Amino acid sequence: MPDIVDLLRSRRSVRAYEDRPVAPELLRRLLVAAMAAPSASNSQPWEFVVITRPAILERLRSKLLFARYNAPAAIAVCANLRIAHNSAARHYWVQDCSAATQNILIAAAGLGLGSVWIGVYPLPSVMAPVRQVLALPEDVTPLSLVYVGHPTEHEPPNGHDRYEERRVYWEQYEPRKRRARKKNAKHE
């Protein structure tokens, strides 16, 4: 089993997919991963719409400027506060559904699938077409769409490293370090 941190570092947004479907068992594994996410007071305010029909995917693509990729499947991560186990969901549903979204991306990487997070909430211009195409009722709010498929290109195994020591403070924030960062920025 690969080191989990190496897996996270090698994950990339995938925007070009092979022309073959994702097996339903794999889509189900992604949903299991999504619902394993933490949520405030364990409220689990999420619902998911899995889209595999080419006509619906095409309708989404035609209406969403930044989602014109040929993925054979998509999962819409939505919040339905009526089904939340706990009222904390009212305040934390964005974080809860974001955690579920990220779990899908990580699970996809682990299963050898490609994925990309398409932001939906809070932009009304993106939420409205997603609501319409997926026939979402008023009390269901789409947070994200995750495109999933078999990537046409595989990333090099060790991926990129975004770790930056200067972004890290130990124990307390240090204003002096912050100033040094700004000064040095000119030379980078």
Ligand X SMILES: Cc1cc2nc3c(=O)[nH]c(=O)nc-3n(C[C@H](O)[C@H](O)[C@H](O)COP(=O)(O)O)c2cc1C
Binding residues for ligand X, rule: CB under 6 A, are: 12-13, 15, 66-67, 116-119
Q: For residues 48 and 117, which CB has a smaller minimum distance to ligand X in the complex? A: 117
**Phi, psi (rounded to 5 degrees) for 129:** -65, -35
**Minimum CB distance to ligand X, residue 120 (Å):** 8
**Minimum CB distance to ligand X, residue 116 (Å):** 5
Torsion of CA 145, 149, 153, 157, to 10 degrees: 80
**Minimum CB distance to ligand X, residue 29 (Å):** 20
**Minimum CB distance to ligand X, residue 20 (Å):** 21
CA neighbours within 13 Å on the CB side: how many for 158? 1
Task: Tell me how far apart the alpha carbons of residues 125 and 77 are, in angstroms, rounded to a whole number.
Answer: 17
- Label each residue of 114-148 as H, E or C: EEEEEECCCCHHHHHHHHHHHCCCCCEEEEEEEEE
Residue closest to ligand X (Cβ): 119
Coil, strand or helix at 107: helix
